[in-house]
């Protein structure tokens, strides 16, 4: 049986994403993905994708900068009416699109304001995918120099995983625990070439042999 939260999420999404020919560039999972997709669909129908994207980026900057506001949004003990008034006050200080304002009203009414940053990030992923961008995370034991990053980009761009019109947006994450090598993540794919992965495989084989 679906939880109350999932039912409310479904109702909110249904209210925003009525039947249309809008093409969704990326399939997102989770409740935050559903809300982001619903907003993307509605914004596309109103030719307001970029306007809403700019609004959400501004909201994210405000939330990340203001710790009190972030605590207010994330506090589950504050009732939804107060949260709705609070978020309306926040949006009244800037020139936000009506669609953005209405969407945050919906989040407040459904008790999902604590997912604000996750939803904004998910919407950003949809916008990025719509522009043909592929987000790539390269994890290494030590920071990579630009030459190494470009080399990995070159290999990926020539692979069957990346389309000819797609653009790679690469971020390098450092994790000493992988010991060496690289872990490359993009979309739902992971290429694990780390030393730690090889060690784990070796340990597994040795364990089975004993």
Domain boundary, last residue among 129, 154, 169: 129
**Distance (Å, whole) CA 57 – CA 61:** 6
Where residue 126 falls (left for φ over 0; alpha for ψ -120 to 50; beta otherwise) is alpha
Last residue of a domain, one of 101, 129, 157: 129
Together in a domain, 119 and 180 = no
Model confidence pLDDT, tens digit, residues 133-182: 988 999 999 999 999 999 999 999 888 888 888 899 999 999 999 999 99
Q: How many domains does the chain have?
A: 2
Distance CA 88, CA 96 (A): 11
Q: How far is CA 32 from CA 28, 55, 79, 201, in A?
A: 8, 17, 20, 35
Query: Residue 18: phi, psi to the nearest 5?
Result: -70, 165
Asked which of 87, 112, 129 is the last residue of a domain, the reply is 129
> Are 37 and 122 in a shared domain?
yes
**This prediction's pTM:** 0.72
Taking the C-alpha atoms of residue 99 and residue 53, their distance in angstroms, rounded to an integer, is 11
Residues 202 and 165 in one domain: yes
Domain hosting residue 137, numbered range? 132-209
The DSSP bridge pattern shows strands 133-140 and 167-174 to be: parallel
CA distances from 132 to 44, 101, 151, 173, 206 (A): 16, 28, 21, 22, 44
Q: What pLDDT score was predicted for residue 20? A: 57
Beta bridge partners of 181: 194
On whether both 117 and 198 belong to a single domain, the answer is no
pLDDT for the residue numbered 209: 67
CATH, residue 53: 1.10.520.20
List, as own/partner pairs, every contact residues 173-178 make where C-beta atoms lie below 8 angstroms and the sequence separation is at least 24, other chains included. 173/137, 173/138, 173/139, 173/140, 174/139, 174/140, 174/141, 174/142, 174/143, 175/139, 175/140, 175/141, 176/141, 176/142, 177/141, 178/139, 178/140, 178/141
Q: How far apart are CA 174 and CA 176, in angstroms?
A: 6
pLDDT in tens, the chain (210 residues): 444 444 454 455 545 555 457 899 988 999 999 999 999 999 999 999 999 999 999 999 999 999 999 999 999 899 999 999 999 999 998 899 999 999 999 999 999 999 999 999 999 999 999 999 988 999 999 999 999 999 999 999 888 888 888 899 999 999 999 999 999 998 778 999 999 888 888 787 777 766
């Amino acid at each position: 049986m679906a939880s109350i939260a999932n039912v409310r999420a479904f109702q909110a999404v249904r209210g925003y994403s009525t039947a249309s020919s809008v093409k969704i560039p990326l399939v997102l999972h989770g409740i935050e993905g559903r809300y982001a997709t619903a907003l993307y669909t509605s914004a596309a129908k109103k030719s307001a994708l970029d306007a809403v994207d700019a609004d959400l980026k501004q909201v994210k900057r405000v939330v990340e900068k203001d710790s009190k506001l972030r605590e207010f949004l994330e506090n589950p003990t504050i009732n939804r009416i107060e949260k709705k008034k609070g978020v309306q006050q926040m949006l009244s200080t800037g020139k936000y699109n009506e669609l953005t304002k209405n969407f945050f009203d919906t989040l407040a009414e459904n008790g999902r304001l604590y997912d604000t940053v996750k939803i904004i990030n998910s919407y950003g992923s949809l916008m990025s995918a719509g522009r043909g961008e592929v987000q790539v995370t390269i994890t290494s034991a030590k920071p990579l120099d630009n030459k190494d990053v470009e080399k990995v980009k070159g290999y990926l761009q020539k692979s069957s995983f990346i389309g000819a019109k797609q653009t790679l947006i690469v971020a390098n994450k450092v994790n000493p625990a992988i010991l060496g090598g690289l872990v490359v993540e993009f979309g739902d794919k992971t290429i694990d070439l780390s030393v730690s992965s090889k060690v784990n495989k070796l340990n597994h084989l040795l364990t089975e042999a004993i």
